[in-house]
Structure 1
Amino acid sequence: MIQVIEHEAGCPLDRLGGWLTATGAELRIIRPYDGDTVPSRPDSGLIVLGGQMSAYDDDVAPWLPAVRSLLRVAAEDATPTLGICLGAQLLAVACGGRVDVGAAPGRESGVVDVRWLPAAGDDPLVGGLPDPFPGPSMHADAVAELPPGAVWLGSSAMYPHQAFRVGAAAWGVQFHPEVSEPTFAGWAAEHPDVDSTAVVGELVARDAEVAAAGQQLATRFAAIVAG
């Protein structure tokens, strides 16, 4: 069973859900904003999704300490884990890294080309994925320092820490491999500093490429959980 932590209705599992279930994976969506309890230990796999809050916004999202604890346990236990955007930032903080809220380079939006670093070559999740990897992006906070011992896997022109691994099986990605056009358009419309037409147009133009790459990542992750 892959547990999925959803922080808000506007940032769902989206296309990733279909890709995962197509592999035979079982999913349990946990919505703490709607009253669900965050488990203290992971099941066979864990995905932590994005959200508008920061990785430190415990007053806004009082379940975040429990999510950070769950991520720390998952990393220590080598439970296959995928943190996406806020989920990646929470993983970094939970394991001793640091996130800049409102990072100086500004908001990264649109479809970002993520370049894999040499360490990604033999990584069980991202090794051999398209390079560059087309990663839909919509964030202003960023991982400033990776956790001690983390493996740095991918970067973009604007932000260095686009992908990393903590321990044997906990991955964080700053981009959104799961996102569909309607969800992405909703995010873009919420930010006055984003040219919605331009960034949604980028996703539409590259959607076949984005979907193919995202599905490859999802299939890899499901295989790691099953294995």
Structure 2
Amino acid sequence: MLVIEHQKNAGLGQLSDRLTENGLTLETVGPDAGAPVPESLDGYDALIVLGGAMGPTEDDKAPWLPATRKLLVDGVELGVPTLGICLGAQLLATATGGHVRTMPQGPEVGLYDVDFTSTAAGDPLFGGLAETSVPAVQWHWLEADRLPDGAQVLASSPACRNQAFRVGAAAWGVQFHPEALGATAQDWVDEDRESLDELGLEEAAVVGDVRAAEPRLGAVWLPIADRFSEIAKLTAAEAA
């Protein structure tokens, strides 16, 4: 599995060990990983694109983004199981014909519920969460306000309609962070305390809420890592 990491403090978090335990070999690339984004998905059974502080078209700040967008398009076209998280979801939407904007109601920062719709019932990855509200870590000022043609919305929140969506048969974008626990939230606070101050948020409350929710965050999102692993392995077996 190819994992594109945009910055060191936005890694796979709690999903990393679970994916490995499920028998997947993870190859992490990106600036802090010291490995370039490859030109193709040849040899990879799945793709995960993680979050980052840059926007999905800020190629001047992150010159590996064009290659990342190309791989996301390839993943959709080839049916390679793909998961874009936060920036990864925005890159997926942008690369396949959607649009990303600054959130008009302001950012979501901290612990928020995500509402999965009845349309998620038949989804291969999130079907088990249909018609439920579940906790997730949010940390985003941008959102995909328009999805590509044919994309299916799977989950929303009051401030962000496209919290989870699928493009094609096996490419998912999630605006929230299923990988993040309290330590990651603390890292992000440490990186940008000024933004928290501007929003009138207290560090102790934001990080404390995430830490308190860790058992629930594991109970909801680790099974999704299991399911993504199953999809990746099944797709690889069918292609063999």
Gaps of at least 5 residues in structure 1 are: none
Which position in structure 2 is the counterpart of 1:226?
233
The C-alpha deviation readout for 1:106-159, integer Å capped at 9, x for no partner, is 110111111111210110000113721211111101111011110111001111
Please tell me the root mean square deviation across aligned C-alpha atoms, in Å.
1.3
Gaps of at least 5 residues in structure 2 are: 235-240
Which position in structure 2 is the counterpart of 1:69?
70
**Aligned-pair distance for 1:34?**
5.2
Distance 1:178 1:9 in 2: 14
AA of the residue aligned to 1:219: D
Distance 2:170 2:90 in 1: 16
Which position in structure 2 is the counterpart of 1:114?
114
The C-alpha deviation readout for 1:13-43, integer Å capped at 9, x for no partner, is 1111111111111111112455522122221
Distance 1:192 1:212 in 2: 32
Which position in structure 1 is the counterpart of 2:173?
172
TM-score (norm 2): 0.90
AA of the residue aligned to 2:122: D
Distance 2:193 2:123 in 1: 35
Which position in structure 1 is the counterpart of 2:19?
20
Which position in structure 1 is the counterpart of 2:10?
11
AA of the residue aligned to 1:53: M
Distance 1:48 1:159 in 2: 20
Give 3-state SS (helix, strand or coil) of 2:232's partner: helix
Distance 2:165 2:27 in 1: 25
User: Quick check: which has more Rg, 1 or 2?
Assistant: 2
Relative to structure 1, the CA distance from residue 34 to residue 17 in structure 2 (aligned partners, 3 Å threshold; closer, same or farther) is: closer
Structure 2 contact 8–33 (Cα < 8 Å) conserved:
no
AA of the residue aligned to 1:208: P
Distance 1:89 1:17 in 2: 21
The C-alpha deviation readout for 1:167-221, integer Å capped at 9, x for no partner, is 0000000010111211111112314232222211211221100111110110110
Match of 1:216 among 220, 223, 226: 223
Which position in structure 1 is the counterpart of 2:128?
128
Q: Does 1:98 align with 2:99?
A: yes
Structure 1 contact 88–171 (Cα < 8 Å) conserved:
yes
AA of the residue aligned to 1:28: E
> May I ask how many residue pairs the two structures share in their alignment?
225
Which position in structure 1 is the counterpart of 2:238?
none
TM-score (norm 1): 0.95
Instruction: Between 26-35 and 213-222, report the one with greater CA deviation.
Output: 26-35
AA of the residue aligned to 1:201: G
Distance 2:193 2:232 in 1: 35
Which position in structure 2 is the counterpart of 1:52?
53
The C-alpha deviation readout for 1:51-72, integer Å capped at 9, x for no partner, is 0000011000001000000000
Distance 2:133 2:181 in 1: 19
Instruction: Between 46-55 and 28-37, report the one with greater CA deviation.
Output: 28-37
Distance 1:197 1:72 in 2: 40
Identity of aligned residues (%): 44
Distance 1:154 1:18 in 2: 26
Instruction: Between 127-136 and 90-99, report the one with greater CA deviation.
Output: 127-136
Structure 1 contact 111–137 (Cα < 8 Å) conserved:
yes
